[in-house]
Amino acid sequence: MRPLSQPGTNRRRSRYVLLVLTLLAVTVVTLDARGVPVLSATRDGSRDALAPVRGAARWVSTPFRNAWNGISGYDDLLAENADLRDQIDELNTNAMRETTAQEQLALLQEQLNLDVTGDYPTQIARVSSGAKSNFEEHTVELDTGSDDGLAVGNPVITRGGLVGVIADVSRTRAVVQLVTDPDFVIGVKVGPDQKQGVGRGSGSASTFIVDRVDLTDPVEPNDFVVAGGIENSKVPPDIFIPVGTVDKVTPDEAARVQVLQVNLSVDLSRLDVVQVLKWVPRN
């Protein structure tokens, strides 16, 4: 049992402590919201300083984590095996079509100028397992930072397409806002006619939403959706980065627009190595 002392004095002291700490926390929240540089510098500095500690803690706990993943991931492993078997069957079927598909792809890339990185300098980065809160499902951490020339706003891509943009950067780490984040908004082009629309994250791991596509614009399922080719966008205006393919088209007669549900071309659940374009949007 806790030692007993004068209850009245203790209660007053407790309330005083609560008041001081609450005010302190609210002050920190307010200063951070106003973008006071000293706070972000403190956070970046402590992240860099704690990175080796986190690395060491993770290294020590590797056997326990592996054991846990073995226990908790057994069903996933079975499902993955089944998926892989299906994929082998599919690959065998598709092998004959491959030559034609490659020719079509070359033509399409030529048409769309699908040179993903253009002449922009890039930085290869690895997705680290970084610490994430339970609510941070739409971010990933990279193992490189401003020391390697990364900056807030840099687009992050893989060979499959757009992954997101860098939202926060310290000397040795960078946090990427994924395209699935409901706050992620970007101008996109749809289909062979390159009709413009506004894309945003849906909150789901594999789906992207494109709206404000004019009702009269012809859009079909399986049409490509690409980011780029638009001034003042989050990606360079002179390159096209694949986002995904249209899965479902829903007309909104009242607003005279179409809402497109898009299957993302990148599997964000299996990110490992990514490429960061060292380009920063003007705005």
Partner 1 sequence: MGPPELMSTESSVVVRWSVVVVGVYLLQVGFANDLQILGVHPELMLLVAISAGLVGGSSRGAVVGFAAGLLVDLLYSGSLGVSALCFTLVGFAVGAAEDSVIRSTKVISMGIAVGASATGVLLFAGVTQLLGGHTLTDPQLWRIVGIVAVLNGLLCPALLPLCRWAEGLGLKSRAY
Catalog residues that contact partner 1 under the rule CB under 8 A.
Answer: 1-2, 10, 13-14, 17-18, 21-22, 24-33, 39, 42-43, 46-47, 50, 53-54, 56-58, 60-61, 64-65, 68-69, 72, 129, 131-137, 139, 167-168, 175, 182-183, 203
- CA proximity to 255, closest of 221, 215, 227: 215
**Cβ-based nearer residue to partner 1, 2 or 282:** 2
C-beta neighbour count of 192 within 10 angstroms: 13
Phi, psi of 97, rounded to the nearest 5 degrees: -85, -10
27 vs 87, beta carbon nearer partner 1: 27
Bridge-partner residues for 77, per DSSP? none
Rounded CA separation 230/212 (Å): 15
Judged by beta carbon, residue 69 or residue 104, the one nearer partner 1 is 69
Q: In Å, what is the CA distance from 181 to each residue of 137, 162, 214, 242? A: 8, 13, 24, 17
Q: How many CB atoms neighbour CB 132 within 10 A?
A: 13
In this complex, which beta carbon is closest to partner 1, that of residue 131 or of residue 215? 131
Residue labelled with tokens 């951070």: 32
Nearest approach, Cβ of residue 223 and partner 1 (Å): 28
Q: Which two tokens stand for residue 133?
A: 């809160």
| Least Å from the CB of residue 16 to partner 1 | 9
CB of 150 to partner 1, least distance (A): 15
Token readout for 198 is 């506004």
CA 50 remoteness from chain centre: 23
Q: How far is the CB of 235 from partner 1 (least distance, A)?
A: 22
- One DSSP character per residue, 13-72 reads HHHHHHHHHHHHHHHHHHHHHTT-HHHHHHHHHHHHHHHHHHHHHHHHTHHHHHHHHHHH
Name the residue nearer to partner 1 (CB basis): 24 or 107: 24
Alpha-carbon distance of 236 to 122, in angstroms, equals 13
Query: What are the structure tokens assigned to 145, written together?
Result: 């930072």
Residue with smaller CB distance to partner 1, 56 or 107: 56
Residue 87 burial by CB count (10 A; 0-12/13-18/19+): exposed, middle or buried? exposed
Nearer to partner 1, 72 or 222 (CB): 72
